[in-house]
Chain A
Amino acid sequence: MGIAQGDPAGSSRSGNRLTRFVAADHRYVFLGTSAIALVGMWLSSQPRTEMSFLAGVYALEVVMYYLLFAWVVVSGVALLNKLIKWRDYASTSPFVRPGARKAERIASYVVVGITAVLFVDRVVMGFIAVAQAAALSETNPQGFLPGMVYMLFAGKDIFIKGIATTVQLAVFGTVIAFFLALLLVFLRLQQIDRPDNDLVRFLKVVGCGFAKFYSAVVRGTPMMVQSLLIYFAGFAALRGTGMSTTEISGIWSTFVAGLVTISLNSTAYMMEVLRGGIEAVDGGQAEAARSLGLSQWQAMTKVVFPQGIKNAVPALSNELVVNIKDSSVLSVIGVFDLMFSTTTVAGIYYRQLEVYVIATICYLILTMIASKLLSMLAKRLDAPAKGPVLSTSDVAVTMGVTDSVRPAGANASHNNKQER
């Protein structure tokens, strides 16, 4: 349908030769499907694996192969015909008749279908065969793919534990950091207000200074260093109370230290994100609230913060993705996260590249899931507020005012329409 309609319009509208060639080319049906057919033929020439379901029906595959071959020949003739007589191809060629077009379209579906079957038979089933063999293997197979599958299966408990720890660290860390960042950004945005007494002024200056200092220190040092510092500082502090090393390890586990690190680290970044969102709120909003007599605190909590946080939601949610990735550095203090489990598996089998590919894929899947969920959340938060957009009554009010003294009178007709 699209082909038949597109043709005359395209050729008549543009004088450009190339455009006319492309437009009259059945939208690349011949060119595109013959390439697909060639891929199918190549797949058919590949050796079968043991999982191949076409192995039992050899005759069928021969038929499929020759159908593809026939299509390539037909396409070749058609394209040659077009190249030779491109000027009056649209009117003379037998390939452009409506009946022929229909047949070509059906044939192109068949070609794509055959290639898809061959793809499943050779590539998908081949991969399953390799994976199954590797998973059931007694020893670590030599090849890259079999080795990867073997180690994934053999080390699946380790990987699952690592993934679970990484997700916990990222999710809890981000949530804790969000609330800490709310507190910190509140300190950061304090300004001296006229009714403040000297004590309040002093506290505000100290609070704002602390927030700036905290942000500078945390954002200016690597998280790996922070994790080591926090872990050993916590250890030293607890040792000061006279506890034994085993007792300390019970309370101050690497996981707890890791969670503290990631929360405190993320707090600084989230604070800056929140600050950006809040400072993006029009200054008039706070001014209007202040002009009504609200204090700075009331204006912030009731008017500015809700809007600022909403502004910051996309960037805040990005912090979860960042934390999933950045939690990998916590493996230096021995947190059993995905990175730690990966190096563990690599150590067991003395195979590095394969397991790091596994880790890469796992991190990628985690971050993709996280960003997908978060974008859904952000969309929900940004849902347009319910309320009438009564453009017609808007006009009525505007017009009514010009000829009536009281604008309230202008709405009378509209009010009657509603339940009044």
Chain B
Amino acid sequence: MAESAQEPVIRIEGLRKSFGSHEVLKNIDFEIMPGEVVTIIGASGSGKSTLLRCLNLLETPDAGHVWFRGEDLAAQHVNVNRLREKIGMVFQGFNLFNNMNVLDNCTLAPVTLKKASKAEAEAEAMRHLEAVGLAEFAKASVTSLSGGQKQRVAIARALCMKPDLMLFDEPTSALDPEIVGEVLSVMRNLADEGMTMAVVTHEMDFAKNVSDKVVFMDQGVIAEMGEPNRLFTNPEHPRTREFLSRYLEDTQGASATA
């Protein structure tokens, strides 16, 4: 899907981030092309969530550049709010606004930021809620929803801002295994519609089958990056091989039965 002539949606150069004396990100470089789905995998503590949160400045990088729409997000005094409007984010813990109903969750940002009138925003929100299968819950309190429903509302909420890029920070990690499927299928639809996505996940099936590029992170650096088919069948880096070993065996077992 990614054409070589296009400009990347977001480009990261020399990104560094430390918490205290612990360096979480060590000189990260990579870019995401329009329409590309990039999954970021790796062990816990390898820095993948921090990397994702640096993309919309929820974590402030210590050094490096985050180029988005021709502006460096990491520069001082850049208007992050305006750039964040075009970067949707979905969190592990849903983070729906508990003081509002489902529809108001979706319309808050477009109306507050004067992107649309109340009626337009509601029509747009209903469209997205319908796409995630929750139109009938528009007036429901968010606290009455199940985890999977909350996460789908969170996706709809982010889409209401018509983002150029969607970030998913372990969107299914707080869900029980039975519900993971409903969220992943929404994400898959989104990818099919051509949305540019960066997904931190432990769902290896999703990484393998949906993404265009897989980034394997280990101890604050990108250990390996490439097409999912190559990475999942023939990983070069020993750490990647180790991390994926159990999974590789699984797929071989699965393909043997299939």
Residues of chain A at the chain B interface (Cβ within 8 Å): 194-195, 197, 282, 284-285, 287-295, 298, 302-303, 306-307, 310, 384-390, 393-394, 397-398, 400-402, 405-411, 414-415, 418
Contacts and interface: CB of A to CB of B under 8 A. Distances in A.
A294 B132 contact: no
Contacts of A303: 97, 99, 108
A94 to B, nearest CB: 61
Contact of B58 (A290, A307, A397): A290
A240 B157 CA distance: 60
12 contacts: A194-B60, A195-B81, A284-B95, A288-B154, A290-B58, A290-B81, A292-B89, A293-B113, A294-B113, A394-B146, A397-B182, A400-B133
A402 B183 CA distance: 10
A398 B185 CA distance: 11
Contacts of A292: 84-85, 88-89, 108-109, 157-158, 161
B112 to A, nearest CB: 5
B99 A307 contact: yes
Contact of A291 (B88, B97, B181, B186): B88
Nearest to A291: B89
A288 B77 contact: no
A408 B96 contact: no
Interface residues of B, number: 58
Contacts of B230: none
A249 B82 CA distance: 56
A388 B144 contact: yes
A291 B87 contact: yes
A244 B79 CA distance: 57
A397 B82 CA distance: 36
Given A197-B77, A294-B112, A411 B140 contact: no
A402 B137 CA distance: 20
B56 interface: yes
B154 to A, nearest CB: 8
B80 A418 contact: no
A256 B79 CA distance: 47
Interface of B: 56-58, 60, 76-89, 91, 93, 95-99, 101, 108-109, 112-113, 130-137, 139-141, 143-144, 146, 148-149, 152, 154, 157-158, 161, 178-179, 181-182, 185-186, 189
A298 B91 contact: no
Among A290, A292, A398, A405, the most chain B Cβ lie within 10 Å of the Cβ of: A292
Nearest to B145: A394
Contacts of A307: 98-99
B182 A288 contact: no
B143 to A, nearest CB: 7
A194 B57 contact: yes
Contacts of A288: 89, 91, 95-97, 154
B141 A385 contact: yes
B95 A411 contact: no
Contacts of A289: 97, 108-109
Given A285-B98, A385-B143, A290 B185 contact: no
Contacts of B161: 292-293
Given A293-B161, A401-B181, A298 B96 contact: no
B149 A394 contact: yes
Question: Which are the 9 A-B pairs with shortest beta-carbon distances?
Answer: A293-B85, A385-B141, A288-B95, A387-B140, A292-B109, A407-B133, A284-B95, A401-B182, A291-B89
